Structure 1
Amino acid sequence: MLRAAVCCCLSSLAGIGTIAATFVSRSGPVLKKGWHTSSEGRGRLLLNMFSENIYINTNFKNKFDSSDLNADSAPVPQKKTTTHESCHRFSKVLLTSFTVYFLLLTTLFSVALISLFKKYSQLLEEKALIKELNYTKLECRKQHSFLKDKVWNCCPKDWKPFSSYCYFTATDSASWSESEEKCSSMGAHLMVIHSQEEQDFITKILDPKAAYYIGLSDPGHRQWRWVDQTPYNESATFWHPGEPSSDNEQCVIINHPYSGWGWADSLCSGKQKSVCQMKKICV
């Protein structure tokens, strides 16, 4: 509103000034020639003055409107800048999200690949071990599988199958370390027991009058360890009452001295029988 009022005032002043200037510049000769006595001359003079005034006002207004339009359109680049900044911000967020997703996917793929590689390496080791052992005879049972190829679980002759393992009872007596070496030469290790089912199975095929080494020992400070490095779980142990009884007895036997089978600590140098354990052979 204020701008429009200023525009009108300036336009009027300019028009008045133009009329005055034109009147002064042109009235002299007319007055000298009797301007007050010629109505036709006066009319022509006024028409010329108003025409020039309209032309000047029109030019002034066009210039003012053009400058005003330019002034009003100046902030437009600011809108473009704001839009550009928003697009740039969105691009950064999108790029960050894509990077995080890619890193997560890469990590999961790496973990899966490592796990697969470990299983494959274990399978190769088992196959290599089977080739080295050269068992003369295997006793096999068909395993139910959804795979196209038939899978057979086998144990060497004179070994007893149970769950996923084969068990062999050594009849000759030896120390704990010698017994473990003998099991190892057959691709096995001294028996590891983690459940009541395993305990019940093995005791059914053992001689109650003999004692047998199992794969549990104490390297020091009563820290019992299994030979296959599986955790020792105190809630799944089968010690005789009062056992273990001596810090000097660092190996473990399974025997049936009185009312039932159980574990007892023993000197590792003692001569005892033993039980070997190995995974079933898949063919």
Structure 2
Amino acid sequence: MTSEGLIMRAFTVSLYLIAVCSLGDTSWLSTTCRGEWQRFGSHYFFFDQTQRSWTDSERNCESLDGHLASVHSTEESRFLEELAGGSTITWIGGNDGGRPEMTQPRTWTWTDSTMFNYHEWADGEPNNFNGVRESCIQMNFGDEHRWNDEVCEKDFASICSRHIRTTVKIAC
């Protein structure tokens, strides 16, 4: 085989290996992604200190190919609490759709369409405090750093999340 043939063969094998790695298990990726994205499980998370409304925070996360974070376990919740500095009240992706006709128990959903199968409400929450409709979820609320339902128009920091496979496509 000529040297050109060997080079072409090596190039083809390299492309094949890159394709296999890109489509297969991504656990080999480092735990930190450029731009302060941090890995937990099958997602990368980004704490954004910019104070925005819940809706503007979700739009910002969408511009980063993600959503406000959904939470599915105690371990994930502790990870996000630490990522947010432990005490900063922070928007996450839960909301009840703002439907005033809803009665208890309210139906909560995540912006990323995953199942709402875990919660960490502070005592007495969610409560629509003083009869004001509070349709969005903030974390790190109160001394226990739990969740609170809050008016979506208020400005807080936020945590964005995106799936690892999406992150790989964005050259993380």
**TM-score for the superposition, normalised by structure 1:** 0.44
Q: 1:249 aligns to what? A: 134
Taking a change above 3 Å as real, the CA distance of residues 265 and 157 of structure 1, as seen in their structure-2 partners, is same
Q: For residues 194-249 of structure 1, what are the alpha-carbon distances to aligned partners after superposition, in whole Å with 9 as ceiling and x for unaligned?
A: 1111111111222344210000001121221111112222xx21000100011610
Structure 2 CA distance for aligned equivalents of residues 171 and 275 of structure 1: 9
Unaligned runs of 5+ in 1: 1-146
SS at structure 2 position matched to 1:153: coil
Matched, 1:237 2:119: yes
- Residues 37-78 of structure 1, C-alpha deviation per residue, up to 9 Å, x if partnerless? xxxxxxxxxxxxxxxxxxxxxxxxxxxxxxxxxxxxxxxxxx
Does the Cα contact within 8 Å between 2:68 and 2:93 map onto a contact in 1?
Answer: yes
1:44 — aligned with what?
Answer: none
After superposing the two structures, state which structure 1 stretch, 249-258 or 184-193, moved more: 249-258
Aligned to 1:202: 80
Percent of pairs with identical residues:
30
Structure 2 CA distance for aligned equivalents of residues 159 and 282 of structure 1: 12
Secondary structure at the counterpart of residue 92 of structure 2 = strand
* 8 Å Cα contact 1:166-1:278 kept in structure 2: yes
1:209 to 1:279, Cα distance in 2 relative to 1, 3 A: same
1:169 aligns with 2:51: no
- The one of 160, 172, 191 aligned to 2:69: 191
- Which has a greater percent of helix? 1
Q: Pick from 215, 226, 230 the counterpart of residue 110 of structure 2.
A: 226
Q: Is the 8 A contact 2:91 2:138 kept in 1?
A: yes
Q: Secondary structure at the match of 1:182?
A: helix
Write the letter of the residue equivalent to 1:232. Answer: F
Question: Shift of residue 168 of structure 1?
Answer: 0.3
Q: CA deviation at 1:150?
A: 4.1
**Residue in structure 2 matched with residue 115 of structure 1 by the alignment:** none
Partner amino acid for 2:121? W
1:215 to 66, 69, 93: 93
What is the match of residue 12 of structure 2?
Answer: none
Deviation at 1:153, TM superposition (A): 2.9
Q: What residue number does 1:158 align with?
A: 36
Partner SS, residue 210 of structure 1:
coil
Distance 2:56 2:35 in 1: 22
Contact 1:208 1:256 in 2 (8 A): no
Alpha-carbon distance between aligned partners in 1 of 2:78 and 2:120, rounded to the nearest angstrom: 11
**Structural mapping, 1:1-283, within 5 Å:** 149-150=20-21, 152-153=28-29, 155-219=33-97, 220=99, 221=102, 222-233=106-117, 236-246=118-128, 248-258=133-143, 260-280=144-164, 281-282=167-168
Aligned structure 1 segments of 4 or more residues deviating by more than 6 angstroms:
none
Higher alpha-carbon deviation: 184-193 or 156-165: 156-165
Shift of 1:149: 4.2
More strand by share: 2
CA distance in 2, matches of 1:206, 1:272: 11
Whole-Å separation in 2 of the counterparts to 1:161 and 1:252:
22
**Partner Cα distance (2:72, 2:124) in 1:** 20
Shift of 1:148: 9.4
State the structure with more CA Rg.
1
